[in-house]
């Protein structure tokens, strides 16, 4: 589970552990990671923290190796949740921002799937869940870089469903609307304004997104391949 030290990732790690998974909590921040792990263990769950900066390909590959080791040679579920979402005018976007966002949001999931999906396919089962955003579906001013990176993730979700699905690996995505997390804390009332455009009229909670991720990762979704599940208060539907 990448990006599990915060927000949606931390909530999902807790939920998956509650449902019996041994969760690898990945992120860069050891203090936050250890506290997520401690909370899971306090409730009787199984979790371990692995530090990795996913903008570096070698670090991504090392994470995949450590996940397999911790899982006793197997990884059944991969959740590509780590992401960054800098907003701003296209003309003010620097090359280094382009590289950093694509490295984390697109290349890291790509390398992790390349490292872990073949073994899942060989065993004939596994589930991969990618995190998208409503900005991947709807053109939004100031979100060209972020939205385009997640649009790539949505297409990759379908391409990987075609590639690995016939060998038993289900690949799906969750597309959240605005959710209050550590990462969106600075948005303040802008997040409420964005959320107000949707039928639900409010931001979602990390737990509401975690429920959708856990559904797609679990056997209840056994016939669901290549889906992008909007959990956005209805924003992209109206
Ligand atoms: N919150 C929303 O409104 C919203 C809406 C739609 C989609 N999403 C998507 O949902 C996902 C989670 O969002 P969130 O709001 O829960 O995020 P968040 O609170 O900002 O947390 C981001 C997570 O990603 C990890 N991360 C960031 N940079 C990393 C790097 N270079 N290497 C490894 N890990 C890194 C962070 O861990 P460390 O700091 O420990 O590295 C943290 O665990 C993202 O993909 C986001 O695009 C969020």
The per-residue pLDDT for 10 is 98
Q: Per the domain annotation, does 184 fall within a domain?
A: yes
Query: DSSP character for 186?
Result: G
| Cβ contact 35:28 at 8 Å | no
The pLDDT, as a whole number, for residue 210 is: 99
Ligand 1 atom nearest to CA at 9: 16
Domain ranges, residue 130:
56-237
Inside any domain, residue 172: yes
Q: What pLDDT score does 147 carry?
A: 98
Widest CA span of the chain, in angstroms? 50
- What pLDDT is stored for residue 116 in this prediction? 97
Q: What is the pLDDT of residue 135?
A: 97
Number of domains in the chain: 1
- What span, in angstroms and rounded, lies between the C-alpha atoms of 36 and 97? 29
Check if the beta carbon of residue 25 is closer than 8 Å to that of residue 1. Answer: yes
146 is catalytic: yes
CA 235–ligand 1 middle distance (angstroms):
21
Picking from 185, 176, 238, 180, the residue whose alpha carbon sits closest to that of residue 205 is: 180
| CA count, 13 A, side-chain hemisphere, 28 | 8
Res. 140 pLDDT band, cuts 50 70 90: very high
| pLDDT value at residue 138 | 94
The per-residue pLDDT for range 12-49, each reduced to its tens digit, is 999 999 999 999 999 999 999 999 999 999 999 999 99
CA-based nearest residue to 144, from 184, 102, 112: 102
Q: What are the pLDDT digits (tens) for 52-95?
A: 999 999 999 999 999 999 999 999 999 999 999 999 999 999 99
- 95 burial level (CB within 10 Å; 0-12, 13-18, 19+): exposed
**pLDDT given at position 222:** 98
Using the mean position of ligand 1's atoms as its centre, give its distance from the Cα of residue 7 in Å. Answer: 7
C-alpha of residue 24 to centroid of ligand 1, in Å: 16
Does residue 28 lie in a domain region?
no
Ligand 1 pocket, residues with Cβ under 6 angstroms: 3-9, 27-29, 32, 52-55, 81-85, 104, 131, 133, 176, 178-179, 181-184
Considering the candidates 102, 146, 164, 215, report the single residue annotated as catalytic: 146
Q: What is the pLDDT of residues 199-226, one digit of tens each?
A: 999 999 999 999 999 999 999 999 999 9
- CATH of residue 153's domain is 3.40.50.720
Among 7, 10, 143, residue to substitute to test ligand 1 (most atoms within 8 Å of Cβ): 7
- Residue 18 falls within a domain, yes or no? no
Beta strands, E only, 28-140: 46-51, 77-80, 126-131
Q: Give the gyration radius of the chain's Cα atoms.
A: 17
Using 50, 70 and 90 to split pLDDT, how confident is the model at 2?
very high
Identify whether 43 is part of a domain. Answer: no
* Residue at 139 is within a domain: yes
Mean of pLDDT over the chain: 97
pLDDT digits (tens, 9 = 90+) for 160-204: 999 999 999 999 999 999 999 999 999 999 999 999 999 999 999
- Is the residue at 45 inside a domain? no
Taking the CA of residue 85 as reference, the ligand 1 atom at the shortest distance is 47
Does a structural domain hold residue 107?
yes
């Amino acid at each position: 589970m990448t990006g599990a030290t915060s927000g949606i990732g931390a909530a999902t790690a807790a939920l998956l552990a509650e449902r019996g998974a041994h969760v690898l909590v990945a992120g860069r921040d050891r203090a936050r990671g250890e506290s997520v792990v401690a909370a899971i263990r306090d409730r009787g769950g199984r979790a371990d923290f692995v530090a990795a900066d996913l903008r570096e390909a070698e670090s991504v590959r090392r994470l995949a190796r450590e996940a397999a080791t911790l899982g006793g040679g197997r990884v059944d579920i991969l959740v590509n949740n780590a992401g960054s979402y800098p907003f701003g005018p296209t003309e003010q976007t620097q090359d280094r921002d382009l590289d950093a966002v694509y490295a984390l949001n697109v290349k890291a999931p790509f390398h992790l799937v390349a490292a872990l999906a073949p073994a899942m396919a060989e065993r004939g089962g596994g589930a991969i869940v990618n995190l998208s955003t409503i900005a991947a579906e709807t053109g939004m001013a100031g979100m060209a870089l972020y939205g385009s990176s997640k649009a790539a993730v949505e297409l990759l979700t379908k391409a990987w469903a075609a590639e690995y699905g016939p060998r038993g690996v289900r690949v799906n995505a969750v597309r959240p609307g605005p959710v209050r997390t550590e990462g969106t804390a600075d948005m303040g009332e802008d997040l409420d304004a964005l959320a107000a455009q949707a039928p639900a009229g409010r931001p979602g909670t990390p737990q509401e997104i975690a429920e959708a991720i856990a559904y797609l990762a679990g056997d209840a979704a056994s016939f669901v391949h290549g889906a992008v599940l909007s959990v956005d208060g209805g924003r992209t539907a109206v």
